[in-house]
Amino acid sequence: MIFGAQTSIRAKLAALAGFPVVGALLLALFVAHDARQRAASAAALGSIEDLARLTGYIADVLHAVQDERAVAAIVDGSGDGVRRSNGAGGGSQAAHDTSAAAERLEGFLSNRDRTKLPARLERGLVESEAALHGLAAVRSRVRQEVVPLQDILASYDAASTHLVGATAALAELSDDGAMLRNISATVALLELEERSSREQAIVGFASAHGEFPPGAYKALVTTVTEQGVYDEAFRTSASDDVRQEFEAA
């Protein structure tokens, strides 16, 4: 195995990171770019600043899901010994972080009239909530047994896909050209991060387990290829100053 069983889950996670996650603050910056100088508004949420905040809350949940997926994959690949020692603890903390981020998003939305949101956005939020609740089953399985890597990926992919879809649906809250461009850049960046996170989970499992399970290497190659596609999409849609912020981060 590449990593020893005594190495902490967080240390393994840090060692496997493909590139740093840019973070919700920068993603919110994309959407809020020049917001104070614009007269546009998102009526269903109350202000353009609220639109930026919602983007940040969704990104927070997405990043938590991505981190938890990587931890779950490493715990699962490490076997029963690590699961009983430091693996379960790392997984529990990651699950707690995901739940906390989801609660912050729900708290923000609870103060808004969701019936006025565009149907696509509301549907994305509802589907995201259902997928997040569904993570409880895979968490329980990982604590008790070795779970096929594809099952882990499928469960977390469902949550992340709906969260990215909800972010894309934010475009329906504004007709401002620069705002729409920044939302497109945000979605492309989230998709890019998602591929990096999925790569991290696959490599993490294989490193802890000692080998790639059937189909995992092919999935890894596909994921790495898709990273290039979304990187190009981000750089095409993002404005010059947003690209500069990204590269500086």
Residue 72 pLDDT: 92
Which residue ranges of the chain lie beneath pLDDT 50? Answer: 1-7, 9-10, 12-25, 34-44, 84, 86-87
End-to-end CA distance of the chain: 33
pLDDT at 221: 93
Residues 89-115: tens digit of each pLDDT: 556 889 999 999 999 999 999 888 888
Taking CB atoms within 8 Å and a gap of at least 24, the contacts of 10-13 are 10/90, 12/74, 12/204, 12/207, 12/208, 13/67, 13/70, 13/71, 13/74, 13/200, 13/204
